[in-house]
Amino acid sequence: MKNLISKNLIHPLFCCCCVFILGCKSVDGLTIDINDEKLMINNADTLTITASSFLLDPLPTAANKKLLVGGTVDEQFGQVAVSSYFRLSASDLSLEKLPDEVTYDSLSIEFYYNKYSYGDTSRALRLDIHRVIQDIEPKELPIALEDDEYPVFVSEATLYSDRTFDYDPIPLGGITIIPRPNTKTDTLRFRLDDILGKQLLGLAVNKDSKLVNNDDFVEYFKGLLLRSDGASHAAIGLQDSLKLRIHYSYDNEIDGKKASGALMLGIGPSKYQYNQITANRNNTNLADLTFDNQEIASSKTENKTFIQGSTGIVTRLRFPTLRSFLSIDNKALSKATLIIETEQSGIGNQPPPTSLILMVANKYGTPTSIVQGANGNATAVYQPNTQSGGVINGRYEFDITDYVSKLIKQSGFDEKQSLLLTLPTKDLLSSVNRLIIANQQNKPAIKLNILYVNY
């Protein structure tokens, strides 16, 4: 009876004790007697963590409803350039109200900010538009892969960040701007090539199938590429609600006065719009990070690790002693907290990400699932640095208790499994936000706190 009572009391008393001790700075050595059986509550924060910078395979950047253009330059990540490919659509083009006698005026295209930017928007940005001369087609998934070898964010044929399609090197038009990403009224308006404009109006007047039938139109006009010319110091996001207008004039039949009008084409299906990324990491600590050499130990990058959206740079974490530590000496896990610190300032044009997530990766480093917390995805929100309590770095704190609990019980565990610290999926696939994890005592400032009970 004594043993039965002791065992039944351990769990509720253990929970009550945990509530009390979570507010304490140190709980090592706290011992409670329950009917002559000892319950010792301890904290461990020195478990081995191996951290590295890891380059994911090219990311799927299609259908995110954000056209990225421009790029960033800094001494840590090198130079990143981002361009946007997309199709146009003639499906909503109405030719019935086109006057019989029209004169071509001009051809233009308009883009609208979506409020995203990253980098120095005070410097000029040159943007050009080119005509794509090759079919923009999604890439099918490799059928040779097993289900658990596909990235968690890929489920069908798509367009990846490394894809390029042939385009006319002579731009249809271009502008130089000082980006104003937070404006609600500013429009990026390009005057495009008049030869193309006259051709399009001629097709419209003749009601040619190239404009009447959308499939014929895509065959005739493969798409457009929006890209920056030269080194860019800021990446900006644009809405996918662009408008291409064929401007014309005509004589009004009622009063004989000159009148004007426009035919309008919009963007094609979102699955054919994607952001193409190029990165030049020469002369940086990440120079050796390539798709052939996807991992660099933190010891080779000044004991820092890195994260960057769209390029696919993440931080890979392994905990080689965690399972064995919790599997001996009658330990019961109470709470597991992963703490990530950064010296990156929240002030400036390259702030730290507002939040991070963790993904589970297989032995190849392919992310196969997202770590779940008690209320859904285990997301850590950026906490600004403060001098109070001795904390000088900004930080992210993950509650990964559920993950560690399942890790302990997992049968057939692959010791090469790891966690990937990364931007939330949407930002990973459609931003160039980046994070540098701090160096602390000659290792990355990453700590795993384990609260456990010995009984």
What are the beta bridge partners of residue 54? 295, 314
- My answer on whether 343 and 376 are in the same domain is yes
Instruction: Judge residue 33's burial from the number of C-beta atoms within 10 Å of its C-beta, 0-12 exposed, 13-18 middle, 19 or more buried.
Output: exposed
What is the per-residue pLDDT for 69?
98
> What is the C-alpha to C-alpha distance for residues 203 and 194, in angstroms, rounded to an integer?
14
pLDDT at 23 over 50: no
What is the per-residue pLDDT for 20?
34
What is the per-residue pLDDT for 34?
45
What is the per-residue pLDDT for 263?
95
Span 384-395, pLDDT tens digits: 986 655 557 899
Span 227-252, pLDDT tens digits: 998 789 999 999 999 999 999 999 88
- Measured in degrees and rounded to the nearest 5, phi and psi for residue 352 equal -65, 155
- My answer on whether 268 and 304 are in the same domain is no
User: Which amino acid, one-letter code, is at 285?
Assistant: N
**Residue 364 structure tokens:** 């190849």
Q: Which one of 25-29, 66-70, 72-76, 397-401 scores highest in mean pLDDT?
A: 66-70
Is residue 274 within 8 A of residue 62, CB to CB? The reply is yes
Assigned domain for 138 exists: no
- My answer on whether 446 and 308 are in the same domain is yes
User: What are the start-end ranges of the E strands in 75-186?
Assistant: 78-86, 88-89, 103-119, 125-132, 173-177
What is the per-residue pLDDT for 199?
97
What is the per-residue pLDDT for 147?
64
> What is the C-alpha to C-alpha distance for residues 350 and 123, in angstroms, rounded to an integer?
14
- My answer on whether 76 and 38 are in the same domain is no
Provide the domain count of the chain. 2
What is the per-residue pLDDT for 325?
83
> What is the C-alpha to C-alpha distance for residues 189 and 177, in angstroms, rounded to an integer?
10
What is the per-residue pLDDT for 405?
87
What is the per-residue pLDDT for 389?
55
Nearest to 230, CA basis, from 371, 103, 112, 125 = 125
- My answer on whether 240 and 93 are in the same domain is yes
pLDDT at 12 over 80: no
pLDDT at 284 over 70: yes
* Residues 147-157, mean pLDDT to the nearest whole number: 84
Assigned domain for 278 exists: no
Span 190-221, pLDDT tens digits: 999 999 999 999 999 999 999 999 999 999 99
Assigned domain for 410 exists: yes
> What is the C-alpha to C-alpha distance for residues 158 and 64, in angstroms, rounded to an integer?
11
- My answer on whether 296 and 423 are in the same domain is yes
Assigned domain for 324 exists: yes
pLDDT band at 5 (very low <50, low <70, confident <90, very high): very low
Assigned domain for 142 exists: no
- My answer on whether 39 and 91 are in the same domain is no
- What DSSP assignment string belongs to 394-423? EEEEEE-HHHHHHHHH-TT--TT-EEEEE-
- My answer on whether 29 and 73 are in the same domain is no
What is the per-residue pLDDT for 40?
63
What is the per-residue pLDDT for 21?
36
Span 88-136, pLDDT tens digits: 999 888 888 899 899 999 999 999 999 999 999 999 999 999 999 999 9
Query: By percentage, how much of the chain surpasses pLDDT 90?
Result: 66
Q: Which one of 172-186, 271-285, 404-418 scores highest in mean pLDDT?
A: 271-285
Its domain, for residue 104, covers: 63-133+168-272
Assigned domain for 17 exists: yes
> Considering 272, 304, 335, which residue would you say is the last residue of a domain?
272
- My answer on whether 316 and 409 are in the same domain is yes
Query: By percentage, how much of the chain surpasses pLDDT 70?
Result: 86
What is the per-residue pLDDT for 235?
97
Assigned domain for 338 exists: yes
Span 28-61, pLDDT tens digits: 444 444 444 555 677 777 788 999 999 999 999 9
**Total count of residues recorded for the chain:** 455
Query: Dihedral (C-alpha) 409, 315, 334, 442: value to the nearest 10 degrees?
Result: 120
Instruction: Judge residue 352's burial from the number of C-beta atoms within 10 Å of its C-beta, 0-12 exposed, 13-18 middle, 19 or more buried.
Output: buried
- My answer on whether 373 and 348 are in the same domain is yes
> What is the C-alpha to C-alpha distance for residues 143 and 156, in angstroms, rounded to an integer?
11
What is the per-residue pLDDT for 19?
36
User: What are the start-end ranges of the E strands in 195-330?
Assistant: 223-228, 234-238, 243-251, 258-267, 274-280, 295-297, 305-308, 313-318
* Residues 345-368, mean pLDDT to the nearest whole number: 92
> Considering 212, 246, 272, which residue would you say is the last residue of a domain?
272
- My answer on whether 98 and 212 are in the same domain is yes
What is the per-residue pLDDT for 413?
65
Query: Nearest-5° angle of CA 205, CA 206, CA 210?
Result: 105
Average pLDDT value over all residues in the chain: 87
Assigned domain for 89 exists: yes
Span 180-191, pLDDT tens digits: 998 878 899 999
Q: What share of the chain is helix, strand, coil (3-state, %, to 5)?
A: 15, 40, 45
> Considering 211, 245, 272, which residue would you say is the last residue of a domain?
272
Span 314-348, pLDDT tens digits: 999 999 888 888 877 777 888 999 999 999 888 88
Query: Dihedral (C-alpha) 327, 441, 72, 157: value to the nearest 10 degrees?
Result: -10
**Residue 127 structure tokens:** 């943007």
* Residues 57-85, mean pLDDT to the nearest whole number: 96
Nearest to 49, CA basis, from 308, 316, 300, 294 = 316
Q: Give the 3-state DSSP-derived string for 76-108, with helices as H, strands as E and coil as C.
A: CCEEEEEEEEECEECCCCCCCCCCCCCEEEEEE
pLDDT band at 383 (very low <50, low <70, confident <90, very high): very high
- My answer on whether 260 and 322 are in the same domain is no
Span 285-319, pLDDT tens digits: 999 999 999 999 999 999 999 999 999 999 999 99
